[in-house]
Amino acid sequence: MKVRNKKMILKEKNIKLLIIVQSLNFLILNMGNVFISIFLINTSNDVMGALLYNLFIAIMPELCRDRIKEILAMLHLMNYLKIFDTHSRPKFEINDENEKLLTAFKENNLIDSYKENSNKEGYYKIVRIKSAAKTWPQDAL
C-alpha cells in the first residue's frame, strides 16, 4: 500500500509541475497583456511593485525596445527611458533595485555597462553601446 501511495504522490507532483510549466508558458506567450493586467490590479503596493520589477526583468529578453519603453513608462521609471535618448546622461542612485535593473539592461544589450559615477557620489552612470556607424578603424581616418 505504501508503494502505491508514493507512486500516487509522485504522479500528483508531476501533474502539478506540468500545470506550473504550462502556466509559465502561457505567461511568457502572453506576457505583455499579463504584465499590463498585473500593473492595473495594484500599483501602489510596494510588494507588488517589487514583483512587477522582477517580472519585467524576467520578460525583458522577449520584449522589443518599444515594448520595454512602454513598460518603463507604466512603471514610472522615466529616468530609464533616458537610456534610449542619446542626448541625455541618466544617473541612477546606487541601490539594489537600480543595480538589478541596470544589470538586466546590460544583459539584454541595451547598455554596454554601468559604473559608479566619479563626478556624482552615490550614483551609477551608464556606458552606451557604441554604434558601428560611429566606430571607424584608425587606418580609415
CB 55 within 8 A of CB 35: yes
Q: What is the pLDDT of residues 62-83, one digit of tens each?
A: 888 998 998 888 888 999 999 9
pLDDT: is 133 or 88 the higher one?
Answer: 88
* 102, 95 contact by CB (below 8 A): no
**Higher-confidence position of 50 and 21:** 50
In terms of residues, how long is the chain? 141
For residue 83, the model assigns a pLDDT of: 95
pLDDT band with cut points at 50, 70 and 90 for residue 99: very high
Whether the predicted pLDDT of 140 surpasses 80? no
Beta strands 123-127 and 113-116, pairing class:
antiparallel
The DSSP secondary-structure symbol of 120 reads S
pLDDT at 71: 85
pLDDT one-digit tens code per residue, 37-49: 555 554 455 655 6
The pLDDT of residue 116? 95
Q: Give the pLDDT mean for 94-102.
A: 94
| 131: phi then psi, degrees, rounded to nearest 5 | -75, 150
Query: Would you list the DSSP string of 25-53?
Result: HHHHHTHHHHHHHHHHH-SS-HHHHHHHH
Q: Residue 60 and residue 33: Cα distance in Å, rounded?
A: 14
